Amino acid sequence: MDERRYLSPALLGSVVVIATSGLIYELIAGTMASYVLGDSVAQFSFVIGLYLFAMGIGSYASKHIEHDLLRRFVEIELAIALVGGFSAPVLFLVYTSAGAFRAALYSVVLLIGILVGLEIPLLIRLLEYRLALKDLVARVLSLDYVGALFASLLFPLVLLPRLGIQKTSMLVGLLNALVALAATFLLPLEHGRAWRMRAQCVLVSAALLVGVVVFDLYALRREATFFGAPIVYSTQSPYQRIVITQSRQTTRLFLNGQLQFSSDDEHRYHETLIHPAVAALGHAPKEVLVLGGGDGLAVRELLRYPAIEHIILVDLDPAVTDVFRNVPLARALNREALLDPRVTVRNEDAFAFLDVTTSNFDLVVVDFPDPGNYAVGKLYTLSFYQRLRQRVAPRGVAIIQTTSPYFARHSFWMAAETIAAADFEVLPMHVHVPSFGEWGFVLAGGPGMKAPETLLVPESDLRFISAAELPALFRFPKDMERVKVGINRLNDQPLVSIYTEEWDQWQR
């Protein structure tokens, strides 16, 4: 067989692959940068600029490669497979720290750019004796641009939605490695060397395949489908799995698979959580305690009151509060509320905190995940609310997240009844949050607490709550009316099973 017959078509075919994959890696880098660092225009601009510049470096450096051009060509292809293929997983691993992420991002882009930049001049030189210069340049460059078009259509329309960013990265890497492997058969390489290079190709392909399998094993892909949008941040703390997803318009936080907020309608939830409670208090609070709420969104609403002197936020999981203090995307959502000098973040167990603190608070905001298990369920018991009662100042109020009075009606009223049993006057409330459905809170305070009629914050600052809408929050239509269900105690916790049953019914 005359191997040389295949040389030109093979080399030209690989131009398309290199161009396509190079641009896909660039798009992956740009996408991840805009997820993590925000400001997608700037991030894409930086990534593209750096990538083109790196290609220039590569092209220039290509003049130093003088011998064994075919071998070098395959080796570089393999290097692209390795660096590009693992670019997304590597960036994913350094997600938490904005500094490390930037360093990794720009190194990856620079490296891929240089490698791709080396490859095109090398190709031209390999083909220089087979085609006239005008044909050569015309073919190589046009194929290069065709590849770019391919990539820019394929990535947003097929790869990202179907495979997700991680798998796209590794599978495109695999494609590069397979092209390199094919090249060892099609290109006239010295026999012994060819085998050695084939072995390398197989090793890189295997590594990438293992990457894909491991990735599948860890169910990240399944989660991506489950969460309905690409995951941009995910970590497992000792207490829970934390996932942030980002689609075109919305950012969502999930704890153990349970939606905590969606950026497009969380204002309804958090405005309702904070402003009626402050209004019921009758004056802007000075000392505020927030239990749970590590996303800082409730604190963001509280900081609208200039009179507030000190907010203590107690959230068990430093993994949550760290994200909302450090990751730019998350920090933007709470408007850097957790970095405000008036805010003290304490990563402690709320139950234990209430035991040791001796302070009294004008306002206590209780915003825990729903009572879906016995550990969180402890924070919905009589014992917990009795401790809470001790820490609410004589004329103070507490506002407590108590799941949906519509989907989990018995759960909601059991929480309300338990709060009342801890010697609180209670005013149950509800609001419609599109991503959650009907949601409920219990406003709790001392004797004579009245439902608020006016707000203590300029209505123009708010997107949802207004004084005119306040009465509706406290009116419960027939299908959410009070039901008598009993009290939730630590040694029984009927709330957990009732809650689980009620939600299971809706998910069926």
Partner 1 sequence: MGPVAALTRRDLLAAIGAAWLVDVELPARRPIEGALLGASHRVGHKLRDGAQAATATRVERADVVIVGSGASGASAAWRLAAAGVETRLLELEPFAGGTSAWGEDGVVAHPWGAHYLPAPNPSALGTLRLLEEMGELTGWDAGGNPQFKEESLCHAPDERLFHGGQWHPSLIPASALEPNDLRELARFRDVRNRYRTLVGRDGRPAFTIPLSLSSRDPELLDLDRMTMAAWLDREGFHSQFVRWYVEYATLDDFGANLTDVSAWAGLHYFCARKLETDQLHGSHYLVWPEGNGRLVKHLLGRMHGHREHHQLVTRVESIRDGVRVSALDLRGSAPVPRTIEARAVILAIPGFIARRLVAPAVAARLTPRASSPWVVANLHVTRPFDPNHAWDSVLYDSPSLGYTDAGHQRTRPSEQTVLTHFRAYGSPNVEATRADLIGRGWASLASDVLLDLAPAHPELADSTSRIDVMVWGHAMPRPRPGFLNAAGREPLETDPVLDERIAWAHVDQSGYALFEEANTHGIRAAEHIAHVLGVNAGTSWL
**Residue 230 to residue 96: CA distance in whole angstroms:** 17
Q: How many CB atoms lie within 10 A of CB 455?
A: 19
Residue of 367, 423, 479, 504 marked active site: 367
Smallest separation (angstroms) from partner 1 to the CB of 418? 11
Strands (E), 294-424: 310-314, 343-346, 361-367, 392-401
Please identify, using beta-carbon distances, which residue of 336 and 349 lies nearer to partner 1. 349
Query: Reduced to 3 states, what is the DSSP secondary structure of residue 102?
Result: helix
β-bridge pairing 392-401 and 287-292: unpaired
The least CB distance from residue 367 to partner 1, in Å, is 17
Nearer to partner 1 by Cβ, of 240 and 401: the residue is 240
The pair phi, psi for residue 438, each rounded to 5°, is -65, 130
Alpha helices in 38-97 (DSSP H): 40-61, 69-85, 87-93
Q: Closest distance between partner 1 and the C-beta of residue 323, in Å?
A: 18
In the sheet that holds 241-246, the strands lie side by side as 231-236, 241-246, 251-255, 258-262
Q: How far is the CB of 196 from partner 1 (least distance, A)?
A: 8
Q: Strands, E, within 153-223: which ranges?
A: none
DSSP bridge partners of 442: 400, 428
Least spacing, CB of residue 377 vs partner 1, in Å: 7
Whole-angstrom distance, CA of residue 8 vs CA of residue 18 = 15
Question: What is the distance between the alpha carbons of residues 329 and 504, in angstroms, rounded to a whole number?
Answer: 33
Toward partner 1, which CB reaches closer, 152 or 383? 383
For the CB of residue 315, give the shortest distance to partner 1 in the complex, in Å: 12
Between 138 and 210, name the residue whose CB sits nearer to partner 1: 210
For residue 10, the minimal CB distance to partner 1 (Å) is 23
Token reading at 19: 């161009």
Q: Which is nearer to partner 1, 86 or 476 (CB)?
A: 86
User: Helix (H, G, I), strand (E, B), or coil: what is residue 310?
Assistant: strand
Q: Do residues 501 and 456 make contact, with C-beta atoms less than 8 angstroms apart? A: no
Q: How far is the CB of 200 from partner 1 (least distance, A)?
A: 7
CB 278, CB 287: distance < 8 Å:
no
> Is residue 367 among the annotated active site residues?
yes
- State the DSSP string of 247-305: -SS-EEEEETTEEEEETTTHHHHHHHHHHHHHHHHTS--SEEEEEE-TTSHHHHHHTT-
Report the interface residues with partner 1, using CB under 8 A.
Answer: 72, 75, 200, 203-204, 207, 210, 238-239, 316, 348-349, 351-352, 373-379, 381-383, 386, 487, 489-493, 496
Q: Smaller CB distance to partner 1: residue 79 or 120? A: 79
Residue 193: count of CB within 10 angstroms of its CB: 14
Structure tokens at 284: 């802007």
> Can you list the alpha helix ranges (DSSP code H) found in 86-156?
87-93, 98-127, 133-154
> Which amino acids are annotated catalytic?
367
